Amino acid sequence: MRIEKTLSIIKPDIVKKNQIGEIINFLEKKGLKVVGMKMVHLTIQKAKRFYQEHQNRPFFEGMVKFMCSSPVVVMCLEGENAIKLNREIMGATNPHEAKEGTIRKIYGKNIEANAIHGSDSEEAAEQEINFFLKANYSINKIKN
C-alpha cells in the first residue's frame, strides 16, 4: 500500500447544515488524515476554472451557482490509497445510487447537492490540491 494525498471538498449543502465536523469525523474514522484544510467562498470565476472540464455539459452553470452559494471546506487528505479510499467512502455521485453507509447516501440530497467532492485520479489530486492549497501539500513534495 502506498500513502497518497487527495483533495476533498465539503460542499455548500453540508456547510449550510453545520455538518462539517460529521463529515470530517466520517473520513477520519475510515482511515484518512486531514493534513491541510481551509474554508473558501468560491467566486463564480474560480468555480468555473475548477470545473472547466465540465463547461460544455448541461449541468455546468447550475453546479457553479451551487458551489458559490455558500462557503465550502477544502481539505487535503492523506492515507493508504487515499484517492480510491476517499471515493469509496464518498459513494456514487448520485446519492440515490450510492451504497448504504457512504457519505453521499447518508448526507446527499441529489446529484448536485451530494455533500462532497473528491479527486478521481492522482493527476486530478495533484492539480486540485495545488488549485486550492498551493504547493504546500503537493503530492510530489510530500511523498512518503
* pLDDT at 33 (0 to 100): 98
Distance, in Å, from the CA atom of 113 to the CA atom of 116, rounded to the nearest integer, reads: 8
> SS in 3 state form for 48-60?
HHHCHHHCCCCCH
pLDDT for 18? 97
Asked if 50 and 7 touch (Cβ cutoff 8 Å), the reply is no
**Would you list the domain boundaries of the chain?**
3-137
Fold (topology level) of 3-137:
Alpha-Beta Plaits (3.30.70)
What would the pLDDT profile of 104-133 be if each residue is shown by its tens digit?
A: 999 999 988 999 999 999 999 999 999 999
Q: What is the pTM of this model?
A: 0.90
- Contact between 117 and 123 under an 8 Å Cβ cutoff? The reply is no
Identify the segments of the chain with pLDDT beneath 50: 137-144
Secondary structure of residue 130 in the 3-state scheme:
helix
What pLDDT is stored for residue 135 in this prediction?
55
